[in-house]
Chains A and B, each alone.
Chain A
Amino acid sequence: MEIKVLGPGCAKCKKTEKLVQEVIKETGVDATVEKVSDMMQIASYGVFGTPSVIVDGEVKCIGKVPKKNDIKKWLGK
């Protein structure tokens, strides 16, 4: 699974990335996490709020820190 966390590096974005990493560790899902902080790249996903989470190319969350349970659901757990 390929997860992307979009965000320029504000506190919320860092927290989101940390939560995603935690969930992966806890559930043992085979997934890679990439932090995307370049504005042009973020814009190319068409999201207009950060942090955003993209799982396998699908936008899952825009403009807020997701809950752990939501992340688990996205990862199919």
Chain B
Amino acid sequence: MELKTTQPIQGEGRINKMLALNLLIATIGVYLWWTVYRVLPDLSKWLTYKLLPIQEGSHLGSSVEFFLYDTPKVMMLLFLVVFGVGILRSFFTPEKTRAFLSGKSEFVGNIFAALLGIITPFCSCSAVPLFIGFVTAGVPLGVTFSFLIAAPMVNEIALGLLYGLLGWKVAAIYLGTGLFIAISAGWVIGRLKLENHVEDWVTQANAANLTMEEEKLTWNDRFVYGWDAVKEIIGRVWIYVILGIAVGAGIHGFVPEGVMASIMGKDSWWSVPLSVVIGVPMYSNAAGVIPVVEALLGKGAALGSVLAFMMSVIALSLPEMVILRKVLKPKLIAVFVGVVASGILFVGYLFNMIL
């Protein structure tokens, strides 16, 4: 997007007016958002038991109420979080991140890569070109992996939903452990010296130095950026959200209390690995899996097992492996999966032990 920032003062006044208008709309929007958000619990009760002929306290009733409460709630939270992070992200680009990371030493690089993985705009279909771009620009392999692990696993959708549905503590634990896995797994991969297990054509690809002009964004552009992010992300994930909440609602209403304690509880040693084994082949995103997680926790599943399940669903997915196979030899993919899975197991056991 090229902007006419060189316009005379007249244009600047127009931009300021637009900014004021945007801020006004945003303020009214937040107020309306909060008003609606507050009445959701009562509204869902009323819809379930007064409008629909469902008896209070029945299995069906608690499922329907869960669904009618969580669907608008999750959608509204997503809206706010995606918009906010969209604005934040307009300050970052993969180009800037790459330039920043290419000069960093390994350990420090891993930390920055994981942090930048959260906020740099990234979509999994860009994983391969991004990988090539990083590696050819001299970003160490392990540091690149820290980025590639953190980017899908610790994302704004996951954090926003965890905060909204399960509270800030769970969100903070997820952020901390997700970063820990991305940093340590990337570091381990770097130590293993697997550079020769990257497909040969990648290292031969010329690292073209792009001389694209840096775009100058005004605050209005950032609002537009945030708004575009809302349309794009919600348009893509809403179906996962509804499916996830439907599954969660089924669990909430019909699975007896405490059943999950025996399967995903903290007492059985196999519950964490089992959660990972179930989670890896499942392909969903944070928006779809978190309502399920909420329901599982409510039925007595242990937090560690549930975190492990969620991380393996989001961070390790079969389609991503297939895409990465184009640039990585099988052994490196196996190491990648192995190291990340070990990290997830560690986190799962840790939380089952201390909580």
Contacts and interface: CB of A to CB of B under 8 A. Distances in A.
A44 B1 CA distance: 24
Given A39-B326, A40-B201, A46-B209, A70 B126 contact: no
Interface string A25-59: 00000000000000110111111111000000001
Contacts of B201: 40, 43
B328 to A, nearest CB: 12
A59 B210 contact: yes
B128 interface: yes
A10 B125 CA distance: 6
Interface string B122-146: 0101101111111000000000000
A43 B125 contact: no
Contact of A44 (B98, B205, B210, B327): B205
A72 B132 CA distance: 30
Interface size range of chain A in the complex: 20 to 34
B128 A39 contact: yes
Interface in B312-343: 323, 326-327
B236 A11 contact: yes
Nearest to A13: B125
A45 B123 CA distance: 19
Contact of B129 (A9, A43, A64, A66): A43
**Which of A10, A43, A48, A62 counts the most B-chain CB atoms under 10 A from its CB?**
A48
Contacts, number: 75
Given A7-B125, A8-B128, A46-B210, A63 B1 contact: no
Nearest to B135: A48
Interface residues of B, number: 31
A43 B123 contact: no
B119 to A, nearest CB: 14
Interface string B231-272: 010001000000000000000000000000000000000000
A47 B123 contact: no
A41 B191 CA distance: 31
Contacts of B323: 8
A59 B1 CA distance: 13
Contacts of A13: 125
B212 A48 contact: no
Given A39-B327, A40-B201, A47 B129 contact: yes
Contact of A49 (B126, B205, B209): B126
Contacts of A64: 121
Contacts of B132: 43, 48
A63 B130 CA distance: 10
Given A62-B212, A63-B126, A47 B133 contact: yes
A37 B281 CA distance: 26
B125 A8 contact: yes
A8 B326 CA distance: 12
B127 to A, nearest CB: 10
Contacts of B232: 12, 65
A59 to B, nearest CB: 6
B208 interface: yes
A27 to B, nearest CB: 17
A59 B326 CA distance: 23
Nearest to B95: A62
Interface pairs A-B: 10 shortest CB-CB: A46-B208, A48-B133, A10-B125, A43-B205, A48-B129, A48-B130, A43-B132, A49-B126, A39-B326, A50-B126
22 contacts: A7-B125, A8-B125, A9-B125, A12-B123, A12-B232, A13-B125, A40-B205, A43-B205, A46-B206, A46-B207, A46-B209, A47-B208, A48-B126, A48-B133, A49-B133, A50-B126, A62-B94, A62-B210, A63-B94, A63-B126, A65-B232, A73-B2
Interface of A: 7-13, 39-40, 42-50, 59, 62-67, 70, 73
